[in-house]
Amino acid sequence: MLRYIIKRLLLIIPTLLCITFAVQLFIVITPGDPARMIAGTQASEEEVEQLRIEMGLKDPLLVRYANYMKGIFRGDFGTSYRTKQPVLQDLLKRFPYTLLLVVISMALSILIGIPLGIYAATHQYSWKDNAAVLISLFCVSMPPFWLALMLVQLLCVKFRLLPPSGIDTWLGWILPCFTNALAYAASITRQMRSNMLEVIRQDFIVTARAKGQTEWKVLYKHALKNAIIPIIMTIGSIFGMAIGGSMISEVIFGIPGIGNYTLSALLARDYPVIQTSVLFISTLFCIILMLTDVAFAIVDPRIRAQYARKKKKNKAARGKPETAAA
């Protein structure tokens, strides 16, 4: 298992190198002049050109990429054009807000999605199953920004139950967390329903029922234990994507997280912030996926058994030459 973890960590390095190069390439080909935005409309063309040279905007693509990577290896992720603060420092200040939003949203989605998926699977082809499938498809299909705006219009403007933006009180977290949780819960519900339907048709479930065990015991002691294992991969993937995908909720509800910070940098052509934000989110995503794979291997007994057989086979293969030599 340790060898597997080390191998996955080493695979993250070329992935991040490709991502940083792609971001640098998109920055070069994207129209916009941050030097002009910083200098202002009153600055002369000579002053703007001098500022471009100082910012390295006139350097070729490979030179800019090499300079950025040298800074990373030295622990320097650049300085924001707007705030004049180190980008990594700004990101670490905003990361707790994004993390809290994602954790609460994921917790709500798990509490909603898993029971709803089980309920839909145990009432297959009934109106309850059809309603659960229809609601989950609706939540997955609708744009998150539309749902957020509709909830603001309904709960904040019309009924005045919750604040439309800001996180000054705990009430400000309800709408953004609920908005994110609906889309995540819909994916978990569909996956859980599919897994549960597949498991309850297996022979060991038929055997458990034939032995006279109650339906509750069959479902929650035997079926759920096997059906919930693939959900780990779904939850891990959603959690990783939610780190970067919370931008819409952060902007609409005024949460000072990484997504809001990155969008402001995109609009202002703040290249150091864009590069480091994408690198930061990509690194988190890769680590979360790696931890998900490790957790899946630990929980699933079939993978553990396969890993043990492979380890035993390798040990036997190493022992054969020694026996032959003796």
Q: Name residue, tokens 């059809």.
A: 130
Q: Which pLDDT score, from 0 to 100, does residue 274 have? A: 92
Cα(52)–Cα(36) distance, integer angstroms: 9
Task: Report DSSP state, residue 115.
Answer: H
CB 105 within 8 A of CB 242: yes
Q: What's the gap between Cα 266 and its chain centre?
A: 20
How many Å apart are CA 179 and CA 224, to the nearest integer?
A: 27
Sign of CA dihedral 301, 302, 303, 309: positive
- In single-letter form, the type of residue at position 173 comes to W
**What string of pLDDT tens digits covers the 326 residues of the chain?**
677 778 888 888 899 999 999 999 988 888 888 888 888 778 888 888 888 888 888 888 899 999 989 999 898 898 888 888 999 999 999 999 999 999 999 999 999 999 999 999 988 889 999 999 899 888 888 888 898 999 999 999 988 889 988 888 889 999 999 999 998 999 999 999 999 999 988 888 888 888 888 888 888 888 888 888 889 888 988 998 898 888 888 999 999 999 999 998 988 889 999 999 999 999 999 999 888 888 887 777 666 666 667 777 777 777 655 444 44
Q: Collect all residues with Cβ–Cβ distance below 8 Å to 279 and sequence separation of at least 6.
A: 16, 19, 20, 23, 72, 77
* The residue type at 314: N
Domain 94-302 in CATH: superfamily? Answer: MetI-like (1.10.3720.10)
Q: Residue 190: what pLDDT?
A: 92
- pLDDT at residue 114, as a whole number: 93
Domain residue ranges of the chain, discontinuous segments joined by + = 6-73, 94-302
76 and 67 Cβ atoms separated by less than 8 Å: no
| pLDDT score, position 109 | 94
β-partners of residue 79 are 86
For the residues of 300-323, what is the DSSP string, one character each?
Answer: -HHHHHHHHHHHHHHHHHHHHHHH
